[in-house]
Amino acid sequence: EHFWTIVLPRMKKVLFYDESGISKEKDVKEKYNEKTAGGFFKYYELEQYEDTLRKTKYKDSYLFENPNEDPYNQYIFLKDPKMLEALEINYKNNKVKVNLSKLYQNIDIPETLSNLLGKWIKKITADYVEFEDGERIDIKNLDCKLIKPLIWWCRKK
């Protein structure tokens, strides 16, 4: 609530040069004034742990048998109804596509990938995000393995 009522309005005032607070001081006016004011900022909301728990769905069922993964990890990732809503599985070609917008409304996929991978974004298009290291990710065909940590948190072996 504090962000929406105090912080965001203050940030907007700074961008539009509201002559109040520190902006009215003489030494600040020399560098920051009506001619030099402006810019942009991006803000987004991170999902809180409590929000994640509220959205969790559970279902009793048997475990898959996969010798390459521990049973708990298999169960959660492969049988989770929330995850299954976002998956498009092509068994014939052994491919899995993930549609994150089925899990979260209005998700900013490039920013999410930037946070997940710890990389700075260089360019965003309708089809891909390019990072400063040159890596490009097709945001319309996300690799299930890439975004698995967003849906299921587990220890890496």
Instruction: Report the 10 Å Cβ neighbour count for 98.
Output: 21
In a domain, 157, yes or no: no
In a domain, 110, yes or no: yes
In a domain, 105, yes or no: yes
pLDDT tens across 58-102, in order?
A: 665 544 455 566 655 555 555 566 667 777 777 787 777 777 777
**Statement: residue 25 has pLDDT above 80:** no
In a domain, 35, yes or no: no
In a domain, 50, yes or no: no
Say whether 130 sits in a helix, a strand or coil.
strand
Note the pLDDT of residue 64: 47
In a domain, 121, yes or no: yes
Any residues with CB less than 8 A from the CB of 17 and at least 6 apart, and which? Answer: 23, 32, 33, 34, 37, 38
Among 34-48, 62-76, 106-120, which is the least confidently predicted range?
62-76
Q: What is the DSSP letter of 36?
A: T
Q: pTM higher than 0.85, yes or no?
A: no
In a domain, 18, yes or no: no
Alpha-carbon gap, residue 68 to 59, rounded angstroms:
23
Q: How many domains does the chain have?
A: 1
In a domain, 52, yes or no: no
Q: Which domain holds residue 111?
A: 71-151
